[in-house]
């Protein structure tokens, strides 16, 4: 069974721009979660989607948004990028809460 | 979600058994204990999950005492490739929409 895929793997953007990251979950997984990982803050939860509905949201500003499509694929968008948004963005899919399968991540660098 | 406490770092040599203990004094009745492994610049990988006593799979064993206030992840005969960060998480296994809360984890360094 194919794992979670994320595109692109690497991205360089300029402050003020916006970015869209994509995540394709494991086939049959309807829950998709997004996390941000930085050296200073560690792994932080962004939001979780299930059947196209956002069920939970972490403590991030409104510049961070997401959506899920009917095929369970998910996208997250960050608008008006700031230097502090530079991070590894991870997507995870699951059928149960604590057994989540993570993708390789998208490394975003904001200059 | 129960708070967990685990050592910041551990060192080991190849071939040794490594035991990482996680403290979770406020674990709830319906909480499970789950461990993840993360290599640099990769997403975390689910290792093992348990509720009580002992669970073993091809990668590790998880020991949980009767009071469930702590748990120990045991990695048999570690190799250099086991160098990673190990996270202990505690929470209800199937609570819809629950976010995984990762602490700082334990950085395991295996040397030859």
**Cβ within 8 Å, pair B32-A42:** no
What's the mean per-residue pLDDT of chain B?
Answer: 91
Q: How many CB atoms lie within 10 A of CB A43?
A: 23
**Cβ within 8 Å, pair A98-B34:** yes
Quickly list DSSP for A11-65. Answer: EEE-TT--EEEEEEPPTT--EEEEEEEETTTEEEEEEEEETTEEEEE-S--TTEE
pLDDT tens for B62-105 read 999 999 999 999 999 999 999 999 999 988 766 666 677 888 89
Q: Which residue has the tokens 């490394």?
A: A107
CB-based burial label for B21 (10 Å; 0-12, 13-18, 19+): middle
Kindly report the nearest CA distance between residue A57 and chain B, in angstroms: 8
Kindly report the nearest CA distance between residue B99 and chain A, in angstroms: 6
Give CA–CA dist B66/B88, Å, rounded: 18
Give CA–CA dist A19/A64, Å, rounded: 10
CB-based burial label for A92 (10 Å; 0-12, 13-18, 19+): buried
**Bigger pLDDT: A88 vs B41:** A88
**Cβ within 8 Å, pair B99-A48:** yes
**Ranges A42-51, A100-109, B94-103: which has the least confidence:** B94-103
* pLDDT given at position B2: 63
Kindly report the nearest CA distance between residue B14 and chain A, in angstroms: 27
């Amino acid at each position: 069974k194919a794992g979670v895929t994320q595109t692109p793997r690497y991205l360089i953007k300029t402050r003020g721009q916006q970015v869209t990251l994509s995540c394709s979950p494991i086939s049959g997984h309807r829950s998709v979660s997004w996390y941000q990982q930085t050296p200073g803050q560690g792994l932080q939860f962004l939001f979780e989607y299930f059947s196209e509905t956002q069920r939970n949201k972490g403590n991030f500003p409104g510049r961070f948004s997401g959506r899920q499509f009917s095929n369970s694929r998910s996208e997250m968008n960050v608008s008006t990028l700031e230097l502090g948004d530079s991070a590894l963005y991870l997507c995870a899919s699951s059928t149960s809460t604590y057994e989540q399968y993570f993708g390789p991540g998208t490394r975003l660098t904001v200059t | 979600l129960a708070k967990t406490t685990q050592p910041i770092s551990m060192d080991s040599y190849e071939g040794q058994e490594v035991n990482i203990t996680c403290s979770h004094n406020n674990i709830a009745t319906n909480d499970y204990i789950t461990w993840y492994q993360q290599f640099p610049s990769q997403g975390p990988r689910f290792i093992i999950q348990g509720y009580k006593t002992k669970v073993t799979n091809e990668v590790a064993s998880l020991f949980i005492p009767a009071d469930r206030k702590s748990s120990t992840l045991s990695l048999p005969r570690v190799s250099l490739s086991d160098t990673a960060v190990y996270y202990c998480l505690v929470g209800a296994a199937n609570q819809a929409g629950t976010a995984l809360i990762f602490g700082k984890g334990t950085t395991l360094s295996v040397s030859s």
